Amino acid sequence: MQIKEGIYKAYFSGWRGSTCAFFTIKGGQIRGLDWGGVQYTGTFSFTDNNEIVGASFRIVRETAPSNISQDLLAEFSLPDHFLDGEIHMLLTPIGDVGVSFEFYHEC
């Protein structure tokens, strides 16, 4: 899947609850903010076909306002096709977390 840079809506769901977030994906950087005020930052690489590989993001810990957010794994690795609109499972110390990304707006 070729990358379309812009703003994506993301939905996270796990046994401790769920949240929505917005992520900007541009120039090899992933930056996000969820409903609870938690910020995310990350990186990825491109293949020759302009596909994302090696994507990961982490929580900016100082922004995590609750114990639930503090318990999240600091860094999440994403599957290479995480922008396909499907639900993908992330393994964390607190259990599996489902995440899906949906294109929202070009930037």
The 3-state DSSP class for residue 62 equals: helix
CA distance 39 to 50: 26
Do the beta carbons of residue 56 and residue 82 sit within 8 Å? no
Task: Indicate if the pLDDT at residue 107 is higher than 80.
Answer: no
What does pLDDT average to over the chain? 82
Question: How much is the average pLDDT of 13-28?
Answer: 88
Q: Residue 38 sits in which domain range?
A: 6-105
The tokens of 31 are what? 């930056």
pLDDT band (50, 70, 90) for residue 11: very high
Q: Domain for residue 1, yes or no?
A: no
Q: Domain for residue 88, yes or no?
A: yes
Q: Domain for residue 60, yes or no?
A: yes
Question: How much is the average pLDDT of 74-91?
Answer: 85
pTM of the complete model: 0.79
pLDDT band (50, 70, 90) for residue 91: confident
**Number of independent structural domains in the chain:** 1
